[in-house]
Amino acid sequence: MRDRNQVVLPIDVGILIEKNDPVRKLTEICDELDYTELYETFLRHWRKVNPRTLFEIIVFAYMCGIYASREIEVACRHDIRFMWILNGEPVPDHSTIARFQNERLTGVMEELFYQLIEKLYEKGEITFQNMFVDGTKIEANANRYTFVWSKAVAKQQEKLEARIGKEVPEIAVRYRLPEYTSLKDCLMWLTNLAAQINLNFVSGKGKHKHQLQRDIELLTSFHERKEGYREHKTILGKRKSYSKTDYDATFMRLKEDHMLNGQLKPAYNVQIGVESEYIIGLGLFPNPTDTTTLPPFLDRVQEKSGHKIKNIVADAGYASEENYTYLEQNGQNAYIKPTDHEIRKTRKYRKDVYRIENMPYDPETDSFTCPNGKKLNHMYDRHPKSDNGFRSTKQTYVCESCAGCPHREKCFKGKYENRMISISQTFSRQKREAEERISTPEGILLRVNRSIQVEGAFGVIKEDYAFRRFLTRGKQKTETQFFLIAFAFNIRKLCVRIESGRFGKSLFETNAA
């Protein structure tokens, strides 16, 4: 019978780990990082497990697609690669792992992530030449049915204010108070009156409530509901909804619809920037659209990395005057496809003489000429403001006369007698320049690489890493978790690029458009 209790050499588990295993590259990179900020989060010098070791364990767990703290603890007890990282230190329990990730790494993880980016820059893997930007929605760890909608809050608040305006004056007059007494003052006065007369508040079936008690309870409910609506509006900010179990999550429409009913679910809009297949920056946003995320996202990435990126490549979801202007002012090249890029290539679009883009424009008189030979003259300007505070200028042009025009039915179907159009000359110029830029050989190459690199990164995270829902709540903790995902993704990507011979190659060379 075989003796399984016999001591067998070698005792060093590292000998059993392959030389090209990703865990070796992870420890090699992590040994070069500065953990000063991480150690400062601990008040005591004594620790059961070294914070640096805990960090390596969690990152390697994410590299293996293990996210739950209990599963990480099990891996530390049975997987020789985790044992090798521990190097004789005691196995941390699941609560230690969870506490470390949610408390210690929060506020520190971003700094560690950009240390890794700087290491990749020193190795020549990242040059900050081209950044491919895209976003995806990932479901939050929140209840799908505990939601608050801004429209519902505004509607209920309006009804409450109307009822307060009707009920409070009547109650005030009943107790000989001025009719204009506010809700708060009236409630305070009635409460003091109840205390003076030693009013006995009763409740339950068969109990007769005093009129003063009824009035106090009614005003109290008004006050509580009013404060509740005010709190809802504070949490909402500029958003249209939020979840009661994760105030930072916004309800969005997700592609992963497991309920198959198109129901909105609490989620975060995750923005990432990719270069040379590495994630070099990320951010979580509450707004479901990508358009307004680009300026704050780029500001954050460039500030944290300390490098200015030359070319920004994104899809049509980022095409806006605000984004084009932002990149122009910062001296960066915008390889952003205009929203009407595909339709512009059709014959129907080019032959449509009624489109403002196809009408002759005279810069001297600042007017367009319609197919009937009439002038559309500049009348006035509008200055709409975006959610980020950006003000654009839109010029309004009105036709001098559309009376008896044979093109009237085909030209426009507006309610005004003469055709009125609104256009931003700046945005039109920016779109033309963007069209020229993305149509060059370099632009075509960058567009192809955008779909390969940044969309490929999301594909790996969602499919290979099976990460489709956050495990933490609150933007700060949730963002920390995605920084861990990105850190793990970059280490594994470095190993793959070395093995496949792509080390130092930033773009996929292809002739396909």
pLDDT band at 9 (very low <50, low <70, confident <90, very high): low
Least confident of 1-10, 35-44, 186-195, 432-441: 1-10
pLDDT above 60 for 46? no
Could you give the CA distance from residue 498 to residue 71 in angstroms, rounded to a whole number?
A: 30
pLDDT of residue 403: 84
Contact 212, 199 (CB under 8 A): yes
pLDDT above 90 for 45? no
pLDDT above 50 for 512? no
Least confident of 117-126, 445-454, 500-509: 500-509
pLDDT of residue 206: 78
The residue behind tokens 């949730």 is 478
Phi, psi dihedrals of residue 395, rounded to the nearest 5°: -90, 135
> To 5 degrees, how large is the angle CA 139–CA 285–CA 470?
25
The residue behind tokens 């329990």 is 93
Strand partners, 399: 376
Mean pLDDT of 246-262: 83
pLDDT above 90 for 449? yes
Mean pLDDT of 313-335: 94
Kindly state the percentage of the chain with pLDDT values over 90. Answer: 70
**Average pLDDT over the chain, rounded to an integer:** 90
Residue-wise pLDDT for 181-240, tens only, equals 999 999 999 999 999 999 888 888 878 889 999 999 999 999 999 999 999 999 999 899
pLDDT above 60 for 21? yes
The residue behind tokens 């697609």 is 65
pTM for the predicted model, two decimal places: 0.89
pLDDT above 80 for 15? no
pLDDT of residue 249: 95
Least confident of 44-48, 77-81, 154-158, 291-295: 44-48
> To 5 degrees, how large is the angle CA 483–CA 59–CA 94?
105
Secondary structure (H, E, C), 214-257: HHHHHHHHHHHHHHHHHHHHHHHCCCCEEECCECCCEEECCCCC
Residue-wise pLDDT for 52-78, tens only, equals 999 999 999 999 999 999 999 999 999
Strand partners, 391: 385
pLDDT band at 17 (very low <50, low <70, confident <90, very high): confident
Residue-wise pLDDT for 296-310, tens only, equals 999 999 999 999 999
Contact 116, 298 (CB under 8 A): no
pLDDT band at 357 (very low <50, low <70, confident <90, very high): confident
pLDDT of residue 513: 43
Contact 405, 374 (CB under 8 A): yes
Instruction: Respond yes or no on whether the N-terminal peptide bond of residue 10 is cis (omega within 30° of 0).
Output: yes
* Position 184, amino acid: K
pLDDT of residue 404: 83
> What stretches of 67-208 show up as alpha helix (H) in DSSP?
69-78, 80-86, 94-99, 109-122, 150-174, 183-196
Residue-wise pLDDT for 256-281, tens only, equals 776 667 789 999 999 999 999 999 99
Span between the terminal Cα atoms of the chain, in Å: 67
pLDDT band at 120 (very low <50, low <70, confident <90, very high): very high
Residue, of 434 and 13, whose pLDDT is higher: 434
Could you give the CA distance from residue 293 to residue 286 in angstroms, rounded to a whole number?
A: 10
